[in-house]
Amino acid sequence: MRFERKHAVLLLAVAVWNVVTFGQFARNLWSAYDSGEDRATGYWVAHTILIVVNVAIAVVLGSLGWKALKATKK
Is it the case that residue 71 has pLDDT exceeding 80?
A: yes
Query: Residues, the chain, total?
Result: 74
Supply the pTM of this predicted model. 0.86
Per-residue pLDDT tens over the stretch 3-49: 899 999 999 999 999 999 999 999 999 999 999 999 999 999 999 99
3-state SS, residue 63:
helix
- Confirm if 55 and 19 have CB atoms less than 8 A apart: yes
At 58 the pLDDT is 98
* 74 band by pLDDT with thresholds 50, 70 and 90: low
Alpha carbon distance 46, 39 (integer Å): 12
Q: Closest Cα to residue 50, out of 31, 12, 23?
A: 23
Alpha carbon distance 17, 42 (integer Å): 26
